[in-house]
A and B are shown apart, each in its own frame.
Chain A
Amino acid sequence: MIAVDIEKKLKAHNGLQMLRIKKVFVPGSITRITGPSGAGKTTLLKMIAGLITPDSGSIKANSISWFEAAQNIDLSPQQRRVGFVFQDYALFPNMTVKQHLEYATNDAEWITRLLKTGGLDNFTGHKPNHLSGGQQQRLAILRALAIKPKLILMDEPFSALDLKMKSALIKDLQIIFTELGATTLIVSHNPQELDGVTGDELEIG
């Protein structure tokens, strides 16, 4: 269970705005996060991952405090080990597809399976600049899954995929999420994109 109760001041075009999130994410659930641009969706994901520090409040994962402002607890992203898919993919330009996954894990079998799931098994030697937008996005998803995380945070993870690829990938990902027993939070602008996939929704802003 991931329990989030945090506050963060955000810079907005009309001054500062307060982002307040209080939500419990059930283990194994998939939650869709929606909201207008600049509302703080990415900031929320980064605060949960430990990449941005909230101003106050707490984040707990299965009764372990990841962040507790009052007690000065703030676990690093390395300690939280969250699978994170960045909106800009954040792929490493110096690494091939396979090296991305090898950087994350030593489990060769798992790497092979992920490559097949993402349809990248024929592109293992390609660097990101030789991949299409859709392939880059799939690689970003696979890299996040490579560490077998218990919590997966995805920031617009399917925006560059065509409809056919998207539905096939989502189906395969659901199987992996279940196997990992992972709780998943997905930021998505497209209302139809995750129909039938997510059980819960969090609207910000």
Chain B
Amino acid sequence: MDLQPIWLTLKLAAVTTLILLLVALPLAWWLSKKRSLAKIIIEAIITMPLVLPPSVLGFYLLLAFSPQRGLGHWLQQTFNVQFVFSFPGLVLASVIYSMPFMISPVKSAFQQLPASLSQASYTLGKTRWQTLWHVLLPNIKPSLLTAAVLTFAHTLGEFGVVLMIGGNIPGVTRVASIAVYDAVEQMNYTAANNYSLVLFAITFVMVLSVFIYNKYQAKSPLE
């Protein structure tokens, strides 16, 4: 079995999860505070990948980042960066596609913390960032772990969106889910089964670990 698609998938999932941890934490914190119309609109946009067919998202990303037009053309000319049919393109698509899986659990965890925790920290003279780092984040650890694992596992299973923007280039954009599809197309059911089993095993172990960890934290794994 060619392991390259598996490694590429794991790399994509790890990079996506890392980027989303950095981007989504402050965003989820901001969204968890007082509601406003702007926040509701932003939250709706972030949630769209949950309900939108992945091929639709992939199609618009393909249009947006095509080197022949607008933004994609400008990125290529100015920074020599090409998102279409490249690994960075897969990362970008995965970050957008998996964002609700990171934002939602983290945001609801922030909302469940009593407001008095932040307030107590402020009265001790601590800034918002000190409060976030020392008080809020340590107290939502189970939800953070759940969000990171869900994001990672969800990225492992991406198909439509990565196929649209990345295509099927071995070693570059050919992730495991595409390798499964490709093998079935070629009637190579053994290879398809091998890739599928590896994906199934990895995701099952990850999700099971989170459920077990959260059981000892006395929290719902899907909180």
A residues near B, CB below 8 A?
46, 49-51, 76-78, 80-84, 86, 88, 90-94, 103-104, 143-144, 146-147
Closest B residue to A92 by CB, please name it: B135
**Using a Cβ–Cβ cut-off of 8 Å, how many residues does chain B contribute to the interface with A?**
16
Chain B residue numbers with a CB within 8 Å of A93 are: 139
In the complex, besides A46-B119, A90-B119, A92-B120, 16 extra interface pairs with C-beta distance below 8 angstroms are: A49-B123, A76-B122, A78-B122, A78-B127, A82-B123, A84-B120, A90-B116, A92-B134, A92-B139, A103-B121, A103-B126, A103-B134, A144-B123, A146-B124, A147-B123, A147-B125
Shortest Cβ distance from residue A140 to the other chain B in the assembled complex, whole angstroms:
8
CB within 8 Å of A: which B107-127 residues: 114, 116-117, 119-127
B residues near A, CB below 8 A?
114, 116-117, 119-127, 134-135, 138-139
A-B contact pairs, 9 of them (CB 8 A): A81-B123, A81-B125, A83-B123, A84-B120, A86-B120, A88-B114, A104-B124, A143-B124, A147-B124
Q: Which of A83, A86, A146 is most buried by chain B, counting CB atoms within 10 A of its CB?
A: A86
Q: Are A88 and B116 in contact (CB under 8 A)?
A: yes
Closest A residue to B122 by CB, please name it: A77
Q: Are B125 and A86 in contact (CB under 8 A)?
A: no
Chain A residue numbers with a CB within 8 Å of B126 are: 78, 103
A94 partner, pick from B120, B125, B135, beta carbons under 8 A: B135
Q: Are A94 and B116 in contact (CB under 8 A)?
A: no
Chain B residue numbers with a CB within 8 Å of A76 are: 122
A81 and B124 alpha carbons, distance in the complex (Å)? 6
Shortest Cβ distance from residue B132 to the other chain A in the assembled complex, whole angstroms:
13
A144 and B74 alpha carbons, distance in the complex (Å)? 55
Chain A residue numbers with a CB within 8 Å of B114 are: 88, 90
Q: Are B117 and A92 in contact (CB under 8 A)?
A: yes
- Given known A78-B126, A81-B123, A82-B123, contact A90–B117 (CB-CB < 8 A): yes
Closest B residue to A79 by CB, please name it: B125
The 10 closest A-B pairs by CB, nearest first: A90-B116, A94-B138, A90-B120, A77-B122, A84-B123, A104-B124, A86-B116, A51-B119, A78-B125, A77-B123
Q: Are B119 and A94 in contact (CB under 8 A)?
A: no
